[in-house]
Amino acid sequence: MTKTYEGGAPLAEVVRSGFVEGAHRGSVVVLDATGVAVASAGDVTSPIFPRSASKPMQAIGMLRAGLPLTDPADVALVSASHAGEDFHLARVDALLQRAGLDASALHCPPDLPVGVAAREAVLRAGGGPTRVQMNCSGKHSGMLLTCEAAGWPLEGYWRPEHPLQQRLRSAIEEFTGEQAAAVGVDGCGAPVLAVSLTGLAGAFLRLVDAEPGTVPRTVSDAMRAYPEIVGGTQADDTRLMRGVPGLLAKVGAEGVIAVALPGVGAVALKIDDGADRARMPVLVSALRRLGVDAPVLTEYAEVPLFGGGVPVGAVRPLW
């Protein structure tokens, strides 16, 4: 029987006009440079769905299976949850064209960009949802190219029993050091595997500590070299990687984020109610426990709340 996530501890409070009107619960683990847990709150050993925070390990699985990418920017794209900006869409189209495919081959559903500016631009122009705009289209394009390179069928490439997904599962289990406790369907239609926050943090630490020239290091270096491709011009993980040299970061849906800094340590956390507004203040608190600081972390230490168009409070960490 699969162990069930027990839920977290109070990690952030919502303060409006000096009055605490709510709180966000969640779980967080902090690993030192050797991979030892030095701080935690909530349930960090039961499985959760990391959602898109699994993408770096999935990219490793694709490259090991023969994904023919030589441009680090393309490696960043297949690891990305992109914002649907023009440079994202152009690169996805280019990957598909390289394989003689078009957007109809993608299994991810039609969607509008997740980036606010890109979404508003599409709507102003009279456009609507497309598969390429979906934030996981880079990953799905990489999956298709991997299947072509390996000689696997494109049909059903998203199914858990497909040879591609079996390879990606092996990569996730290798780097987290855990067997997947459950297999679900992610928002993009591809499988998502349940592992613990401790396993997720350890995986990110292994990626940044990998030897230069290895596939794991290729993925982590590409993401850190092209953070705008991983998220978007204003995405949280993009801004973190720009603002903290050497940091690898990837967000996931439902309040998940994982980060690692070579020689320092790693953090993985989940906000139980999925609220993005609590994720970054808690992450800043965790990184400061490892002695990490930078101006971008000060910006994220509290998330402002507004009333009448002016700041009247904040979401701030309790942990």
Which residues are bridge partners to 20 per DSSP? 15
| pLDDT above 90 (res 293) | yes
Of 50, 205, 292, 241, nearest to 249 (Cα)? 241
- What is the mean predicted confidence (pLDDT) over 274-282? 96
CB 288 within 8 A of CB 297: yes
Distance of CA 177 to the CA centre of its chain: 18
pLDDT at 2 over 70: no
Which pLDDT tens digit goes with each residue over 241-275? 999 999 999 999 999 999 999 999 999 999 999 99
Confidence band, pLDDT 50/70/90 cuts, at residue 115:
confident
Mean pLDDT (whole number) for 125-129: 95
Contact 194, 184 (CB under 8 A): yes
Residue 3 binned pLDDT confidence (cut-offs 50, 70, 90): confident
pLDDT of residue 155: 96
Instruction: Name the percent of the chain lying above pLDDT 70.
Output: 99
The string of pLDDT tens digits covering residues 65-90 is: 999 999 999 999 999 999 999 999 99
Token pair listed for 184: 């679900």
Query: What count of other Cβ atoms lies within 10 Å of the Cβ of residue 172?
Result: 25
Measured CA distances, 208 to 102, 141, 154, 204 (Å): 34, 25, 32, 7
Percent of the chain with pLDDT over 90: 97
Predicted confidence (pLDDT) per residue in 36-56, tens digit: 999 999 999 999 999 999 999
Per-residue CA distances from 241 to 15, 123, 198, 313 (Å): 29, 30, 21, 27
